Amino acid sequence: MDAANALQGNGADQATGLSERDRDILEFERHWWKYAGAKEQAVREKFHMSSTRYYQVLNALIDSQAALEADPLLVRRLRRLRQQRQRQRSARRLGFEI
């Protein structure tokens, strides 16, 4: 069981290795801009979790091989965006501009 499912105890689908919640999160990330209002509010309404917890689950999920196999384009894009943000934070701490 991957880290995204460990706390919830969600069973994984045998075909994809992803739980229903994991598939819902990937689907949400693919289309979140269609929801009215702020993303954080949509996360709270749809998944009944704080935005902090949502991003913890999402980060664990995009690190999983099952998510990469299920939706490689989305997962690679999310990984790339995460890496960009990490580089920008590191550069700010060191006094660089990227």
Q: What's the start-to-end Cα distance of the chain, in Å? A: 38
* CA nearest to 22, candidates 45, 44, 1: 1
9 backbone φψ class: left, alpha, beta (φ>0; ψ -120 to 50): left
- pLDDT tens track for 18-77: 999 999 999 999 988 777 778 889 899 999 999 999 999 999 999 999 999 999 999 999
Q: How far apart are CA 61 and CA 89, in angstroms?
A: 22
DSSP state of 12: P
Q: What residue ranges do the domains of the chain occupy?
A: 21-95
| The pair of three-digit structure tokens given for residue 86, joined into one six-digit string | 């990490």
Model pTM above 0.85: no
